[in-house]
Every structure is written in C-alpha cells, then in structure tokens.
Amino acid sequence: MKNFVRMPAFAKVNLCLHVLARRPDGFHELRTIFQAISLRDTLELSFTRRPGIELQVSDTGLSAGPDNLVYRAVEAIGCELDFHGGIRARLIKKIPVARGLGGGSSDAAAALIGMLRLTGHERDFPLAKLMEIGSRLGADVPFFFFGGRALAVNRGDEIYPLDDAQPRTIVVVSPRAIGVSTKDAYEWLSAELTNRANPPNIWRFCALCWSRQGKLSNDFELPVFRRYPRLGEIRDAFLQAGAAEAALAGSGSAVFGVFRNPAQARRAARNFPEDSVFVVETLSRERYGRAIGWRAVV
C-alpha cells in the first residue's frame, strides 16, 4: 500500500472508425482501431483523514464533483474494494476536453489503476472485473488499460490488442472556437447510417484496415466537416504540409496529421497559430505499459 500515486493519462486517436446501426441499448455498434499517443493528463491520488472524495481539477471549466469521470471512477472502485476512507485526487489537464481524444476516459482508467495501486490491490484485482467497471464509466475506458494499438468492437468497450505499427509523429490541432457534441455528431450521422447497405462485419473491417496500412478513415468526417468546413480545411492543410495521412479525431473537433519526420511535423504545427497544437508520438503497448507502470495481461 502506498500513500501517494501519480498516474499519466494518455490520449488516443482513432485510426479507423466505422459506425454501424443503433443497438437495442441505444448505443451504436462500432468498429474502430485505437492508437495511444503521448499527449497526456496527470492524476495524483493520496489518502486523507476525512472520509469521502476531494477532487481538484486544473481546468476550471470542468466539474470537480460527482459528474466528473475521475470522481466516479474512484467511487466505483472504492465500492468494489469496500474502501471507506478518504481520497484526495488532483487532475492536471493537458488533453483538450470534448475533442475526440479520449481524455475523460483515460483519466477514469488512470483513477481505477491508481486506486488499485494506492490500496495495494494492483496485483490481485481481476482484469475482467476492472474492464467491466471501466465500460460502465465510458465505452472507451477499457482501451486505456492496454494502450498501444487495439481493435475495439461493440460499443468500443470490447478490446483486442494488435501488433504495434511503426512509430509515428502526430500533430494534433484543437480549434479554440469549434466544439462538436458527440451526441450531435451521432445524430448527424444517423440518417446516413439508415441508407448504408451491407455494413462490413468485423473480419471485413479488420481486413480493410490492415490492407490499407497507414490509411485513416472516420465515418464522422462527412457530416462533421459539412457543418464545420474549417475542420476539413485543417485536414487538407496537414496533407499539403506533407502529412502521410490526416483525419478527424473521434467525433471531433480535434484533427490530427501523421508524419514520418518529427522536423516536418514541427514545421506543419506552425501553420495553426490561433489554435491549440500538440506535437506528440504514437505509443507502443510496451512503452505505454512502462509509462503507467502497469500492463494488462490477455
């Protein structure tokens, strides 16, 4: 048992994102390939003498109460462990919020692993149970127990780790003036989904993505770019600056470009002086595991 834990919480991008029909539970069926990147938040956890959860968040625009995913994660794992003590959590945000980069879900995963480490249950808590708790908090939370590159199906919560691709430099642009609601993005896409014939099954999806090495695809791009043309312009600017590929991040509004050369990536980043820009790297599963000090065994 430790008295203090500091956890990195890394962002992700979707290399392929295919949205199928709405499921009976109201969510959409997904086929996606996640890739962890080095852009990260930092979460600190420690015990307090006063029972309950005390959460501090560096981003004053985010809630520090029970609707924050870190708060909910600490509360959920505490119930599983029958823990009734006090926890102080401090979240230092670097990942832009609501930009399709998975920051909230990554924070939740870091909180779950951090609580296991803090309370001395890191080695004996079942992975399957941890993934169940994570998926209740958010569909892509389970990915952040693995990192690297992974196939995700169902709601995005069923994870199959994949072999790592060659390391690449990623430039992420988060437009300051544009925010895309995930709920709205799904509604915009719904009409197109009803007209889509014979969507690919999981094996056809995998074959498509693996046969198009380095090629990005995202079903949200068409409806989102139609409503926010500047996001499409950012993608095109990446390609003109020498990016091998570029795409919308999740349902947006961040856009990312993939570069083979870090110097080229840094030059491209200068093209967006009015936006938040991050030059980062892809993370292999091994490197991700070393960084968080924990590796999911499958």
Location of each CATH 3.30.230.10 domain in the chain: 4-162+285-292
For residue 156, what pLDDT band results from cuts at 50, 70 and 90? confident
- Can you read off the two tokens belonging to residue 214? 């380095």
Answer yes or no: 12 catalytic. Answer: yes
What pLDDT score was predicted for residue 42?
98
Nearest CA to 43 out of 18, 16, 17, 62 is that of: 62
Distance (Å, whole) CA 242 – CA 26: 40
**Residue ranges of the chain that CATH labels 3.30.70.890:** 169-281
**What whole-number distance in Å separates Cα of residue 237 and Cα of residue 257?**
9
Q: Which of 107, 140, 219, 275 is catalytic?
A: 140
Lookup: tokens for 53: 């959860």
- Res. 183 pLDDT band, cuts 50 70 90: confident
What pLDDT shows up at residue 297?
Answer: 61
φ and ψ at 235, to 5 degrees?
-60, -45
236 is catalytic: no
> Rounded to whole angstroms, how far apart are CA atoms 153 and 155?
6
The class (CATH top level) of 4-162+285-292 is alpha beta
φ/ψ bin of 182: left (φ > 0), alpha (ψ from -120 to 50), beta (otherwise)? alpha
Percent of the chain with pLDDT over 90: 74
Query: Looking at the domain 169-281, which fold is it?
Result: Alpha-Beta Plaits (3.30.70)
For the CA atoms of the chain, what is the radius of gyration? 19
For residues 288 and 204, the model is more confident at 288
Tens-place pLDDT, residues 120-155: 999 899 999 999 999 999 999 999 999 999 999 988
Burial string for 260-269 (b: 16+ CB within 10 Å, else e) reads eeeebbeebb
Task: Identify the residue whose tokens are 């609501």.
Answer: 98
Identify whether the C-beta of residue 256 lies closer than 8 Å to the C-beta of residue 172: yes
Name residue 283's amino acid: L
Catalytic residue among 12, 93, 157, 164: 12
Residue 282 in 3-state DSSP? strand
Q: Which residues contact 297 (CB under 8 A, 6 or more apart)?
A: 127
pTM of the model: 0.92
Among candidate residues 228, 255, 227, 292, the one with its CA nearest the CA of residue 96? 255
